[in-house]
């Protein structure tokens, strides 16, 4: 069971969230009867490189993965997610 917190959304955001929640669900796609199903992994593989989340540390402005087996291509773009210092 989740504990409700203080709603810090702006009135505009709250109104927009309520509008989105009130919208009817979208109808399922109409596929031809002979369409073959495929897994999500196959679908994502067709889209090219996909995001990869790895644990790492930033030292002197450089991102270093904690797992030595992870190899990032040179000039890779990374998103740094920081946690509170403990």
Taking only the tens place, the pLDDT of each residue in 43-59 is 777 766 667 788 888 88
**Residue 60 covered by a domain:** yes
The answer to whether the predicted template modeling score (pTM) of the entire model surpasses 0.85 is no
For 46, phi then psi, to 5°, come to -75, -20
Q: How many domains does the chain have?
A: 1
Among residues 19, 24, 85, the alpha carbon closest in space to that of 57 is found at 85
- The pLDDT score that the predictor gives to residue 15 is 94
- The pLDDT score that the predictor gives to residue 48 is 67
Residue 23 DSSP class = S
Can you give the residue range of the structural domain that contains 76?
52-86
Mean residue pLDDT of the chain comes to: 82
For 55, phi then psi, to 5°, come to -80, 140
**Residue 34 covered by a domain:** no
Band (pLDDT 50/70/90 cuts) for residue 5 is: confident
**Residue 46 covered by a domain:** no
**Residue 39 covered by a domain:** no
pLDDT, mean of residues 33-45: 82
- The pLDDT score that the predictor gives to residue 24 is 93
């Amino acid at each position: 069971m989740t504990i409700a917190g203080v709603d810090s959304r702006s009135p505009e955001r709250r109104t927009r969230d309520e509008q989105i929640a009130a919208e009817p669900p979208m109808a399922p796609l109409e596929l031809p009867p002979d369409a073959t199903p495929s897994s999500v992994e196959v679908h994502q593989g067709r889209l090219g490189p996909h995001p990869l989340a790895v644990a790492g540390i930033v030292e002197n402005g450089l991102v270093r993965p904690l797992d030595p087996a992870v190899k990032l291509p040179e000039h890779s773009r990374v998103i740094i997610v920081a946690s509170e210092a403990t």
